[in-house]
Amino acid sequence: MNEIRNDHKLMKDAPVGVFDSGLGGLTVVREIMRQLPEEDIVYFGDTARVPYGSKSNDTIIYFSRQITHFLKTKHVKAIVVACNTASALALPTVNEEVDVPMIGVVEPGAIAAAKATRTGNVGVIGTQATVSSGIYTKVIGALDPTISVIGKACPLFVPMVEEGLVDHPVMMQMIDYYLGSMKESSMDALVLGCTHYPLLRSRIHEYLGDAITLVNPAYETAMGLKNLLAENGLLRDARGTKKQAAADLYVSDLPERFKEFANSILPIDIDRVKTVNIEQY
Ligand code: DGL
């Protein structure tokens, strides 16, 4: 009996694994840290192989499977697929193959969008792979078949965010280029369906105005993770005076650049980002 209780406690104290094709998934980690400050995190960013958004389904599944194997070696108790592209294309397959609960960002984003719209017209922006998969249309349609969804791939947003051009005037031109037609439509909720887009939130809001609600799936994903852990009896107990848990960050390339970005967006100090040869997994 005691052993069972100890095992269960060990599982509760295990970290949550989170992965993305690169650094954008830290926007999801930030939200998890806000809502679940007692949970430790092990994060993997596939900086050597990013972007996923322009790759084939098979490649995205193959990469996601390797990362899941790596996270399993860290004894994670649950896995968050923080990447929209991997959530859209790999999660259904990989989820079947592992024995830890998994959650992606698409379903939480779709739920938030269905709640946010009043006109029944939702826009979704994401990578080419996410938008072509039609996954948001499918999931939102299953929640409420009266909602119509318009998708738009915005492939240049990711490199522009990575180049630090969020506040540059050219960013506004790019937003106008991609979102001009959506602005004229009757859409009243727009899903930021890519990990990097929450970093453009204020610029997109400046362009679209108050009438269109911007949906950041990260917020609902952290809530979904809380429910998933609770359902599986895996929520960590509050940890007394220590407010924020630890985060162990791993990448497949360029750890220094990643560390800088992590320190600019996470509420804790990151002193080290480790490099992993992901091809071994
Ligand atoms: N993380 C990806 C996503 O959320 C964006 C970057 C990429 O194309 O890999 O879809």
Concatenate the DSSP letters of all residues of 164-232 into one string: T-TTSHHHHHHHHHHHHHHHHSS--EEEEESTTGGGGHHHHHHHH-TTSEEE-HHHHHHHHHHHHHHHT
Q: Residue 1's pLDDT band (boundaries 50, 70, 90)? A: very low
Q: Which domain holds residue 142?
A: 107-217
Looking at 217, 239, 272, the residue that finishes a domain is 217
Q: Does the pLDDT at position 2 exceed 60?
A: no
Pocket test for ligand 1, best of 23, 26, 196 (most atoms within 8 A of CB): 196
Q: Are residues 8 and 85 in the same domain?
A: yes
The pLDDT of residue 245 is 78
How far apart CA 85 and CA 132 sit, in angstroms, is 10
Cβ of 20 less than 6 Å from ligand 1: yes
Q: Does the pLDDT at position 5 exceed 60?
A: no
The pLDDT of residue 182 is 95
CATH code of the domain containing 149: 3.40.50.1860
Cβ of 195 less than 6 Å from ligand 1: yes
The structural domain count of the chain equals 2
What value does the mean pLDDT take over residues 157-171?
A: 93
Q: Are residues 124 and 56 in the same domain?
A: no
The answer to whether 3 and 11 have CB atoms below 8 angstroms apart is: no
Q: Are residues 11 and 81 in the same domain?
A: yes
pTM of the predicted structure, to 2 decimals: 0.93
Looking at 187, 217, 247, the residue that finishes a domain is 217
Q: Are residues 43 and 12 in the same domain?
A: yes
Share of the chain above pLDDT 70, in %: 94
Cβ of 194 less than 6 Å from ligand 1: yes
What value does the mean pLDDT take over residues 240-256?
A: 85
Q: Are residues 97 and 121 in the same domain?
A: no
What value does the mean pLDDT take over residues 65-74?
A: 98
Q: Residue 163's pLDDT band (boundaries 50, 70, 90)? A: confident
